[in-house]
Amino acid sequence: MKRFMISIGMVVALNVGAINISAAGIHDGVREAQGNIINGRIIYQNGLGDDVPACAGCHGTGGMGSDEMGTPRLAYQVQKYIWKQLEDFASDKRQDNQMYQMNDIAKALTREQRRDVAAYAHALKTPSLGSDLDSMRKNGDDIGLMYKGKIIVHFGIPERGIPACQSCHAFNGRSAGNMYPMIGGQNYTYLKHELEAFRLGASTASSDDDAARDNDPMGQMRNVAARLSDEDIANVAAFLTVARPSTSGNPSAPRH
Ligand code: HEC
Ligand code: HEC
């Protein structure tokens, strides 16, 4: 009996040891996913050597992107999503089909540096403003109809098999975290461009046509984009760029 007690005691001690080890592993895992914001800031604002220009040059110091260049807002985008895109550019799963720069830039960074710069871009808490649709309209750009876009974002168009965008991207496209990026407050030109690229990606692979995007997990976005007309794309982009992440009744939006 005494012997039995001792062996239970030993088992417990061993288990405690095992728990400690795995707890340390989890902690390192969290740190690894979090990235080093200070390293990321240097890369983002200053660039790195000859091969990596400052991200700020195209995505803006505050991470807002630009409609003129067609660059996306990165500020407060889901960190894992930013990191995944950089990995996809680095492995040519996604083609930069706008300025043809992102693939080389991502390749010139190490995996850790891509993670660090994703952490920094996520940490930029620049307020959500969206594109200045009024001046774009004055410049002669064809801008979609917000109220029609809102219906698609909130309810989809069931008779054409189009799901509500917020069923995956959450309220007003503010992001559901992890795999689902923030699309509310994103720039108009970029939103339109990505939806067209996914739509093309539904019928051809990016390896056959550079203008196609097909790096969405399980074809989730291609499936939706395939059903959108040019008009739908302009309409959802017009609504999403000004869509707010919170409502007037509840000003707090969940963190991601
Ligand atoms: C020369 C201009 C330029 C520079 C410099 C640049 N980018 Fe980009 N970036 C772009 C363009 C253009 C796109 C859109 C590509 C597309 O639509 O195919 C883009 C897309 C991205 C995306 C995808 C965002 C999304 O919402 O899917 C990420 C992430 C990104 N860039 C991060 C960075 C980081 C980090 C740096 C600096 C290390 C950087 N970029 C430097 C032009 C640039
Ligand atoms: C079934 C889930 C699902 C639905 C519904 C959905 N999306 Fe997406 N969407 C995704 C996923 C997943 C991604 C991320 C792809 C990746 O990882 O590269 C994405 C990415 C995007 C992007 C690219 C964002 C960026 O920063 O590059 C845009 C734009 C977008 N979705 C718009 C829409 C619109 C507009 C609708 C409604 C018409 C919609 N989505 C409906 C799953 C969905």
The rounded percent of the chain whose pLDDT value lies above 70 is 87
pLDDT at 212: 97
What is the best residue among 221, 223, 228, 240 to mutate for testing ligand 2's pocket, by most ligand atoms within 8 Å of CB?
221
pLDDT at 248: 75
Q: Are 225 and 175 in contact (CB under 8 A)?
A: no
| C-beta neighbour count of 212 within 10 angstroms | 22
Question: Measuring from atom 19 of ligand 1, which residue has the nearest CA?
Answer: 71
Which of 109, 131, 108, 128 lies closest to 118, judged by CA?
109
How far does the centroid of ligand 2 lie from the alpha carbon of residue 198, in Å? Answer: 9
What is the best residue among 64, 71, 169, 191 to mutate for testing ligand 2's pocket, by most ligand atoms within 8 Å of CB?
169
**pLDDT digits 0-9 by tens, 149-202:** 999 999 999 999 999 999 999 999 999 988 999 999 999 999 999 999 999 999
Ligand nearest 52 Cα, by number? 1
Taking the C-alpha atoms of residue 19 and residue 27, their distance in angstroms, rounded to an integer, is: 12
Q: Are 221 and 236 in contact (CB under 8 A)?
A: no
CA quadruple 208, 211, 215, 219: dihedral sign:
negative
pLDDT at 238: 98
* Range 233-250 burial, b when 16+ CB lie within 10 A, else e: bbbbbbbbbbbebeeeee
pLDDT at 33: 63
How far does the centroid of ligand 1 lie from the alpha carbon of residue 102, in Å? Answer: 5
The rounded percent of the chain whose pLDDT value lies above 90 is 79
How far does the centroid of ligand 1 lie from the alpha carbon of residue 251, in Å? Answer: 30
The distance of Cα 202 from the centroid of its chain, to the nearest Å, equals 20
Q: Is 224 in the pocket of ligand 2 (CB under 6 A)?
A: yes
User: According to CATH, what is the number of the domain 128-256?
Assistant: 1.10.760.10
Model pTM?
Answer: 0.90
Q: Which homologous superfamily is 35-127 in?
A: Cytochrome c-like domain (1.10.760.10)
Which residues have CB under 8 Å from 152's CB, separation 6+?
162, 164, 165, 232, 235, 236, 239
pLDDT at 23: 36
Tokens of 15: 């288990």
Q: Is 195 in the pocket of ligand 2 (CB under 6 A)?
A: yes
pLDDT at 132: 95
pLDDT at 15: 39
**Cα angle, residue 188 at apex, residues 184 and 191 outer, rounded to 5°:** 70
pLDDT at 32: 53
**Domain extents in the chain:** 35-127, 128-256
Q: Rounded to whole angstroms, what are the CA distances from 205 to 42, 163, 177?
A: 35, 23, 27
Intrachain domains 35-127 and 128-256 with the same fold: yes
pLDDT at 31: 52
Amino acid residing at 155: F
Position 253 pLDDT exceeds 60: yes
pLDDT (mean) for 83-94: 97
Pocket residues: Cβ below 6 A from ligand 1: 43, 52-53, 55, 57-59, 70-72, 74, 77, 82, 85-86, 96-99, 101-102, 105, 117, 193
**pLDDT digits 0-9 by tens, 100-117:** 999 999 999 999 999 999
Position 211 pLDDT exceeds 90: yes
Per-residue pLDDT band at 21 (split at 50, 70, 90): very low
Average pLDDT, the chain: 88
Position 227 pLDDT exceeds 80: yes
